[in-house]
Each structure stands twice: as C-alpha cells, then as structure tokens.
Structure 1
Amino acid sequence: MKVTMADVAKKAGVSKSTVSQFINNRFEFMAEATKVKIEESIEELGYIPNNMARSLKKKESNTIGIIVANILHTFSNEIIRAIEDVCEEQGVHVFVCNADDDPKKERSYIKMLQAKQVDGLIIFPTVGNEDVYASLRKSNFPIVFLDRKTEGAYYPTIMLDNHKASEIAINQCVKAGKMKIAIVSTSIKRKVVPRIERIEGYKRRMKELNLAYEESWIVATERTKIVEDLDRLWLADERPNAFYAINDLALMELMKFIKKNSLTIPQDVAVIGLDDSPFLEVFTPPITVITQPTFQMGKEAAQLLLKIIQAKDIEDDYEVMRHIPRLLKRESV
C-alpha cells in the first residue's frame, strides 16, 4: 500500500503539519530530535512526497527544464553541468531534453515540460518556433535563451561573441605563417546562429587581412558528409594549409580526414578548433582551440532564470549578453 504523510507522522509520533514542515525544509522551530525521528521514519517506510500535489498547492514545483539543441556537443554537457550545480544549491531539480536542432521536437518538449509544471526553461532555441516563444513571452512564462538568439527579442539571451572567436582563430593561423585557411562546420541548413556567425566572422577577417580563399574552402555540411567534402577540396590545385573547425563535431570529422590522408600537423596543415575537449590535450600534437566560458555561461543562465522565477516578472529592457572567447594555445598551429 502507498505510504502517506499520516503514516510517517504516526510512526514519528508527530503531527502531519510537522511532517509537512520537514518536507518543505521549514526547520526554524523544529527540535533536532524531531527532525531525526521524521527522517528515520521516512527512510524506514519508504515515503515519497507527492511533489505534483505540492506544486499545485504552492503554484511552484522547484523544477526547471533545459532544452539543448544537440546534447552530443561538449559545450552542451558543460553548460548542463553548470546549470545543475547552481540549481542543486538552490534545491531546484532539472529536466534535460535534447531537441536535435528540430523545432517540432523542441515544441513538443516545451509542451511536455509545461505539463509537468516546471517553473521556467533554459532553451538553446531552434529556428521555426518564433510563434511559440512569442506566446510564452505574452503569458510571462520564465525563460532564458542560451547560445543562440531569436528573430524577436522575447527573452534574455546569453551567447558567445562568435565573430570574435573567428577573428582570434584566423589571427593565430596568420601568426603561425598559415595564410591559406579553410573553415569546417556542421550543417547550416537549419540556420543555426553560432555556425552562421562564425562563418561570417571568418569571411570578414579574411577580407580585412586581404587573404584570398576559395568558396570550396568553406565546408558546411552534414557531419557524415564532411570528410567527403574535404576529400574533394584536397583534390583541387589550390589547397589550404590551415583548417579552422568551428565546433567539436566538425573538428572530429576534420581529424578523420587528416588521418585518412596521412597529413602531419602542423607541418602539412595547421589545425585550430572551437570548444575544448579532454582528448584534444592528449592528442599528438595537442590541438589549439578557442574556448568558450561554458561554466560561467551556464551559471549565469541558471541564476538569471531563478531570479526571474522569484520576481515573477520579466523585464522588457534587456540586451543579448555576449561572452568573450579566448585562445588556448597548444601545438597544432
């Protein structure tokens, strides 16, 4: 049979209201011995509080949702960890969902998480759900956007200065004497903002430095086709002598291409990536990267969302908050 709060109260020899106070962390006037009795009774009986009923009564659930665009990225995992760390300190639980850059999937997760009475959401927004965001904003539902901005200014947004990241990457290649620089990205078909901005930054910096590049040197395709496109590029008369991979998945495919063609880094080609990963430091040679302050970004997003939830209001006047990337110099360029 289901264990109730009354069962816990009876076993501990206290009232139901005292057990309720314990469950809701209200210990101001509770003796230590009473706390121990209730805790032991809950453990012995296997009592599980009815969080849904509590959230309906309090009109808050102490839960938030995170909808990431692609959970395969190291960036996403580090952001999630930072958010969870902040929420754990505040006694807030977290649901994590992976949208796979699919607006339909994201829309479904938003509905599901709202049905679960989450207090707010942190979303890596996809392209195609502007109507959903507008509706949520109109209802004053707490949300913080991460990594990507939307067409409309619906919610506070935290992301990287992607143009600056590409500028740093190109500058480092030029400093190493590598002037023929290609860029490698996963697909921009779904108009993923960071990827588009990083390619824009690449083009801009190459133009500013009067560096020529072939259109074929801009490889932006599905992950499974990157090596194929790089093979075609390598057959051309004019080859690059440096590659800039704008995320960790693109970098992995680039490294497959380099291994396949027995190229030496940095003698044959220099390599620079965006986003660090543990294996890059132990690679031979260690790979130079542009890093994002992922833990800081995740922490800020969580703190901001919890602040909005507590205030029960979203300010209309805010800007997109851009974080500055930094170079982590190793031996590949």
Structure 2
Amino acid sequence: MPPTPRRSTILEVARLAGASKTSVSRYFGAERERLSPSLQTRIAHAAGTLGYQPNQMARGLKGGRSKLLGMLVADIRNPFSVAITHGVEQACRQYGFSLIVCNTDNDPEQERQHLDLLGAYQVEGLVVNASGNPERQLHNFISLGTPIVLLDREVDHVEAEVVGLDNHQAIDMALEHLADQGYQAVLYVSEAPEQSSTRQKRLLRFSQTAEQHGLNYTTSLLTDMNGAATLQALSDFLTTHQRHACAVLCGNGNATLIVTRLFQQLGLPLGTVGLMGIDELDWCALVPPGITTLAQPTEAIGKTAVQCLMHRIEPHAALMPKELSFAPTLIERGSTQR
C-alpha cells in the first residue's frame, strides 16, 4: 500500500527559496507587494516545485480572518446569475479572496439556511441576490460588522448598496426603440413580481412610459414555465390590436425564452410582430432574424459589488465605486425591424 502523500510545509518552501518564513507568509497573504519581484519569483518557483498550498483556514483562524466572501444567488440556472457570478468570482480572485456561492432556487427557506451556513463560515462580506425578504438575518450580519451588498434586488429595511441595472432607463430605452420602429401596441411579459423589487420597478415603469409614448399597452405575468396563460394573453392582445403594429417586450431572459417558443407555436413572423427582451442571451442571435435585446454589463456589475465590499473590508485596497446603477446596451436585430 503506497504511503499517504505528505503536505509540504512553509518552512520547506522558505529553505528552497532562500527566504525567511515571514517572507513566504507575506507572499501568500495580503502583503505580497512588499516583497521584491525576484524574491516573489523564487518563492513561487519553490512552492510550485514542492506542490505547496497554504492552509487558508488555518491562516484565517490565526489572523482572525477567513478571506471568504459569500454570495446568495436566487436562481443559478438563470443566465444572468451565471454571468454575474463570473464577474464576482473574478473580482474576489483579484483581491485574494475565495467565494462561497449558495443557490436558493427562489426559495426563502433555503435562503435562510444558506445565510446560517455562511455565518458559520465567518464570511467577511456578503453579495446578496435575494429571493425572499431575509431582513432579520441580514441585520444580524450587519450588527456583527459584516458588510453587505445587494445585487439587483432590494430588501426591505436593509440599508446597503444596491448594484445592478438602471431599470427605469432600460424600460425607457426599450419603449423608445419600439416606438421609433413604428410599433403602436406593446405587450409586456414578466415573471411574477412579488419577490423581486427589480420586476416591480420594471412593471411600474413600463405602464408609465408606455402612457407617455401614447402606446396601446397591456401586461401579462408568467404563471408557469410553459406560458399557457401568456399564450392566451398574447392571442387576445393580437386580436384586440389587429389594426396596430404589435410588439412584445420581455422583462428578463426567462420571459424571452418562453415568449420565443410561443411565437413559434403561433407561427408569428418576427419583425411583423416585434419581439424584444431585457438581458442578452447567446441564443438570441441564432433565432432568425435575431432577437433584439438590452444587454446588461454583468461583468461590471459583479466586479462593482465586490469592490463595494472591499471598500468596507480593506479600505486601503479599494475605492468606493462612483457608479452602482448601470445602463444597458441596445443590441438591435431583425425581430424589431418591421
């Protein structure tokens, strides 16, 4: 039976690199820049040769820090969540932190359990894309001095930076584009807004802005993934507005996918009946003649959320971002060209 592999030690790395144990510790900590470039190269080479990996949990216990950030994601299957998480993880790596991602599946009970778990891991900061209203638990983190950033969605009575899309600007841009293209009636399709402040803002803004543009408009809420109720709402909308140029605006990527299937089911020609979605998805360019979208700067949103946390955790390492609300980018394709 082969012997169990032994972990290399920091002392062995120091000997091979011709450095002190303190220098090696600095290299794997937050003070790497205090070492000369040549010393950093020697330590990196020695660690690679020995296969050395620092015990981050032990380092955290010794220094009273975990070097961990926690992230709550409402639905990890949502392409928006995937893209945002990538931006958050990249920023964590830049600051020398590790990320624990917890998916709540839009279930408030799972959300509470995951927050308890992240508390047990003593995360130094939290990025929260809420699925419920975890006001009490978030206040517990705040009372312990743990900084919190809310991603995309607000939480009642929790004072924290909210980083995400400028929802009012997104709706305004979408309706301005559709009006410029000559559409006269617009159906807005959204997922249920009860648990999402973002959906609530977009829904309210849609009604206000459509009124200002003099558009005929109505809304439909998705009640299931098959969109059965929305299929009826879409059919009724087109029947009611036979004499108008009609378009459908989708409130997020999931809504765009469901409505695209409904268009195919009804045999609706894209462009003749307009289709536009908030959130850019890879497949939107592949459905002929392409679906017009408003793309969110997900990379920038994710990185800004971490930058906000780092400004609280290590003020010397990060400035407070000047911008927390981001404008979308219009990607115009054939689905809104009459």
TM-score by length of 2: 0.83
Where relative contact order (Cα < 8 A, 6+ residues apart) is larger, the structure is 1
Taking the aligned partners of 2:44 and 2:170, their CA distance within structure 1 comes to: 51
Match of 1:111 among 108, 116, 120: 116
2:314 corresponds to: 310
Which 5+ residue runs of structure 2 have no aligned equivalent? none
Is the partner of 1:301 in helix, strand or coil? helix
Taking the aligned partners of 2:48 and 2:322, their CA distance within structure 1 comes to: 48
Match of 2:297 among 287, 293, 296: 293
Is the partner of 2:314 in helix, strand or coil? helix
Say which is worse superposed, 60-69 or 16-25, in terms of deviation.
16-25
Q: Is the aligned partner of 1:185 residue 2:186? A: no
Which 5+ residue runs of structure 1 have no aligned equivalent? 313-317
Report the number of matched residues: 321
Q: 1:154 to 1:330 in 2, by over 3 A?
A: same
Is the partner of 1:332 in helix, strand or coil? helix
Q: Is the aligned partner of 1:54 residue 2:46? A: no
Q: 1:212 to 1:32 in 2, by over 3 A?
A: closer
2:328 corresponds to: 325
Q: 1:263 to 1:62 in 2, by over 3 A?
A: same
Taking the aligned partners of 1:311 and 1:58, their CA distance within structure 2 comes to: 18
The equivalences for 1:187-266 within 5 A come to 187-188=192-193, 190-213=194-217, 217-226=218-227, 228-236=228-236, 237-239=239-241, 241-266=246-271
Q: 1:29 to 1:67 in 2, by over 3 A?
A: closer
Q: 1:161 to 1:19 in 2, by over 3 A?
A: closer
- CA deviation map 1:249-286 (0-9, x unaligned): 1100011011111110111x100110112221232112
Taking the aligned partners of 1:29 and 1:209, their CA distance within structure 2 comes to: 61
Taking the aligned partners of 1:179 and 1:233, their CA distance within structure 2 comes to: 17
The equivalences for 1:44-83 within 5 A come to 46-83=51-88
Cα shift at 1:83: 1.9
**RMSD in angstroms over aligned alpha carbons?**
2.9
- CA deviation map 1:16-63 (0-9, x unaligned): 555544443647567958964x65664455444221111011122222
Taking the aligned partners of 2:315 and 2:11, their CA distance within structure 1 comes to: 37
Cα shift at 1:295: 1.9
Cα shift at 1:78: 2.0
What one-letter code is carried by the residue in structure 2 that aligns with 1:128? N
Cα shift at 1:292: 2.1
Is the partner of 1:118 in helix, strand or coil? coil
Taking the aligned partners of 1:244 and 1:53, their CA distance within structure 2 comes to: 52
Say which is worse superposed, 232-241 or 197-206, in terms of deviation.
232-241
- CA deviation map 1:86-131 (0-9, x unaligned): 2222222222221222222222222212222321111112332111
TM-score by length of 1: 0.84
> Among the aligned pairs, what percent are the same residue?
26
Q: Residue 245 of structure 1 contacts residue 272 of structure 1 at CA under 8 Å; is this kept in 2?
A: yes
Say which is worse superposed, 253-262 or 85-94, in terms of deviation.
85-94
2:131 corresponds to: 126
1:175 corresponds to: 180
Q: Residue 144 of structure 1 contacts residue 304 of structure 1 at CA under 8 Å; is this kept in 2?
A: yes
Taking the aligned partners of 1:91 and 1:113, their CA distance within structure 2 comes to: 18
- CA deviation map 1:183-223 (0-9, x unaligned): 111222x421111111111111122234333xxx4221244
What one-letter code is carried by the residue in structure 2 that aligns with 1:330? R
Q: Residue 130 of structure 1 contacts residue 150 of structure 1 at CA under 8 Å; is this kept in 2?
A: yes
- CA deviation map 1:126-145 (0-9, x unaligned): 33211112222222211111
The equivalences for 1:14-163 within 5 A come to 17=22, 19-24=24-29, 26=32, 28=34, 32=38, 36=42, 42-43=47-48, 46-163=51-168
Q: 1:289 to 1:256 in 2, by over 3 A?
A: same
1:315 corresponds to: none
